[in-house]
Amino acid sequence: MNIEFAERMNHVQKSFIREILKITENPDVISFAGGLPNPDSFPIKAIQQASEKVLADYGSSVLQYSSTEGYLPLREYIAERYYQRFGLSVEADEILITSGSQQALDLIGKILLNKGDQVVLERPGYLGAIQAFSIFEPEFQSVALNDDGIDLNQLADTLKVHNPKLFYTLPNFHNPSGVTYSAENREKIAERLKQHQTILIEDDPYSELRFIGEDLPPIKKFLGDQSIMLGSFSKIVAPAMRLGWICAQGELMEKLIIAKQAADLHTNYYSQRIVHQFLTDNDLENHIEKIRQMYKQKRESMVAMIEKYFPKEIKSTQPEGGMFLWVTLPEGMSSLELFDLAAKENVAFVPGDPFYVNGENVNTLRLNYTNSSEAMIEEGIKRLAKVIKQMLNH
Ligand code: PMP
């Protein structure tokens, strides 16, 4: 049968990372490839208690259909936490619960993007956002990331020349690069965007995972309704719950609710009730602090092992939180080639290529440190150092 697929599918690739993860199913492979939270961080017992409680006390309602916007007390909790963390005044009505923040990207694409619209991303950019937006056939423009955030001159030029609909950013512990935007960079971005109609998407699944330094204000603090913020329980409770949210105002929220209704009526209500019960009966701050300590140690171990084993010409970022570290190989060295050699030594990472919208053969790569023990981090970095040295000597 000759199936005529919709044209929009011509522009979307299978996630490269999901393909790589197949290689890592081999138990001999040490994988720094996935973006998985450490399973030891999952509050299994507390989730079990919360789910038993909601079933016992509210069984008939938690298994019923519910509102598109999401469970009101959960939305109130999220709004209150924005206020506590950043002094950001947000109403519960400005929060829409989504099936992970990944669905938020799809809904935003649906309500805002026509074929050929301009979308700005960071270079490198989050692969999942590239994939989600690609369905709507936009044209991507990318702006370089520096150590302290987006390159402001390039951003100003891109805004002027392309008048983009959306600018998608990840200001905290960026995936893949680990970069965090400085407070000054955030304010300047808001200043630049105010002169245009471009809507900012601030994707923020990682900011709670800060293990060094202080929280920084979201760009929304300086930009107001022109920013849509995305959040997620995936990294602070558990990704399988598939709970994320969108914080947006006015007409944007109205349209998002319609798109959400059309997509799946509402997010898994049982899962919303379990997570809300978990948040009510447990000290979230305490729980997150344990995750921060766990990830801090793993990050320190990976940074130390890189210093010990990698040749000096290899550069890497030193993130203050989150889950990833970004490595830059010497100019001209291909991370895809390194990936093939590394696979033979049973160590995996994500080559930088899929994080660039104009796929080049790049010399960068992403390492995840949250899902390996310290012994595995040492052994994996040692194996990687061996193949890097082999490539350098050729
Ligand atoms: N945005 C970013 C930047 C991410 O790294 C991820 C998870 N890899 C997501 C969104 C999707 O997260 P969720 O589980 O909330 O859908």
Please report which helix (H) or strand (E) contains residue 315, including its range: strand 315-316
- For 29-44, write each residue's pLDDT tens digit: 999 998 899 999 999 9
| CA nearest to 34, candidates 13, 18, 14 | 18
- Cα 205 to ligand 1 centroid, rounded to whole Å: 6
pLDDT for 243: 98
Ligand 1 closest atom vs CA 102: 16
- Cα 347 to ligand 1 centroid, rounded to whole Å: 24
pLDDT for 22: 77
Does 102 contact ligand 1 (Cβ within 6 A)?
A: yes
Break the chain down into helix, strand, coil percent, rounded to 5. 50, 15, 35
Residue corresponding to tokens 């930088």: 352
pLDDT for 98: 98
pLDDT for 394: 64
Give, as one character, the DSSP assignment of residue 89.
Answer: -
- For 47-60, write each residue's pLDDT tens digit: 999 999 999 999 89
pLDDT for 120: 98
Ligand 1 closest atom vs CA 105: 10
- Cα 210 to ligand 1 centroid, rounded to whole Å: 16
List of the chain residues with pLDDT < 50: none
Does 233 contact ligand 1 (Cβ within 6 A)?
A: no
Q: Is 284 exposed, middle or buried (0-12, 13-18, 19+ CB in 10 A)?
A: middle
Cβ contact 299:319 at 8 Å: yes
In this prediction the pTM is 0.95
Cis peptide before 124 (omega within 30 of 0): yes
List Cβ neighbours of 260 (8 Å cut-off, separation of 6 or more): 68, 96, 98, 107, 266
Rounded Cα gap, residues 209 and 172, in angstroms: 9
pLDDT for 330: 94
Cβ contact 169:145 at 8 Å: no
pLDDT for 148: 95
- Cα 69 to ligand 1 centroid, rounded to whole Å: 20
Complex ipTM: 0.99
